[in-house]
Amino acid sequence: MSAVREGDPVLADADTALRAYGGGWQGRLALDLALRDGRSVAARLAHHGPLRVQKLLWPEGPALAHAILLHPPAGLAGGDSLSLELALEPGSALLLTTPGAGRWYRGDAPASQTVSVAVGARACLEWLPQECVLHDGVIGAQSMRVDVAADATALGTEVLVLGRRASGERLERADFDSRLELRRDGRLLLAEHARIDARAAGAAALGDAHASGLLWAIAPDPIDPLLPERCEAAIDATIAAADEHRDDRRGWGIDATIGGASLVDPHLLLVRVLGRSPQTVRAAITAAWSVLRPPLVGREAVVPRIWRT
């Protein structure tokens, strides 16, 4: 589906469609994290609508809080809008994840999600939501902006799944816009704009793959130039790509998965993975995170317990 424009029947019918089920759900959440007596705690928590955060937990000690972001509808439909503002005050640390996959449902009107993150001095954020599934017929836009202080650390992941192929679904109609902006000490490190249109084809539309993963890491000190190679080795081991008998397919693993890592700035490392299996792509991204967490966060790589439930 092409972009919605003035005069488009989709736009003309949007108000009617929204009125039929109440106009869409609006959810807002603001969380400020602060370090108090050696413990990262919520200094401010405000919410409206179907967007919540479970009470903070400290499974790795008081300095690092774990939070689970809850959206009870489990997905966005036409007219829905979610907004999250997250601020980490100096010295605080947070790992944020979700209880399951997020979903963007087929809609007769656009849905939207906006995330704004500020990571203060000496603070550390790990943004680790589970995968996001785009249903056929999706109309939506998401944006995320991350501002990191010069001496702070931030890691984030995203796994995007195009259609529910296990159920026989492919994205035959789609209009989805995704933007990511990363800044360190006020300087732009990355501005990425992805447009998913079901009419696109070829490598720009992931080819035969339908799952893509991204991991980004911002560090206060210049990143060890050997870390990208270590990430790639962990990915290859996870997807069984290191096969000396497959020179013509070197780097490709199970489920046609391929991944790579690179330093695009002394303080920014990116990992990308493509494949036909969301589970394999997610496992590869997690393997790279496991490599990066000890040197950048200073903690052993222990996956959140909610991922195993």
Q: Is the pLDDT of residue 3 over 50?
A: no
* Predicted local confidence at residue 267, as pLDDT: 98
Is 292 in contact with 232 (CB distance < 8 Å)? no
Q: Provide the pLDDT confidence category of residue 253 given band limits of 50, 70 and 90.
A: confident
The string of pLDDT tens digits covering residues 280-299 is 999 999 999 999 999 999 99
Q: For the chain, how are helix, strand and coil distributed in percent, rounded to 5?
A: 20, 45, 35
Q: Which of 8, 221, 15 is nearest to 109 (CA)?
A: 15
Question: Cα-atom radius of gyration of the chain, to the nearest Å?
Answer: 20
Instruction: Give the percent of the chain with pLDDT over 70.
Output: 85
Helix ranges restricted to H, the chain: 9-20, 227-239, 278-297
pLDDT, mean of residues 215-244: 92
DSSP SS3 for 188: strand
Q: Provide the pLDDT confidence category of residue 12 given band limits of 50, 70 and 90.
A: very low
* Predicted local confidence at residue 265, as pLDDT: 97
* Predicted local confidence at residue 44, as pLDDT: 96
Print burial letters for 110-121: b (CB count within 10 Å at least 16), e (below 16): bbbbbbbbbbbe
Any idea which residue has 């890491």 for tokens?
Answer: 217
Token output for 105: 């449902």
The string of pLDDT tens digits covering residues 148-166 is 999 999 999 999 998 777 6
Q: Is the pLDDT of residue 250 over 60?
A: no
Sequence-distant (≥ 6) Cβ neighbours of residue 166 within 8 angstroms: none
Q: Is the pLDDT of residue 248 over 80?
A: no
The residue ranges of every structural domain in the chain are: 9-308
pLDDT, mean of residues 95-103: 93
Q: Is the pLDDT of residue 28 over 80?
A: yes
* Predicted local confidence at residue 174, as pLDDT: 82
* Predicted local confidence at residue 24, as pLDDT: 81
* Predicted local confidence at residue 25, as pLDDT: 86
Q: Which of 18, 30, 28 is nearest to 77 (CA)?
A: 18
Token output for 223: 């990143």
Helix (H) or strand (E) holding 128: strand 124-128
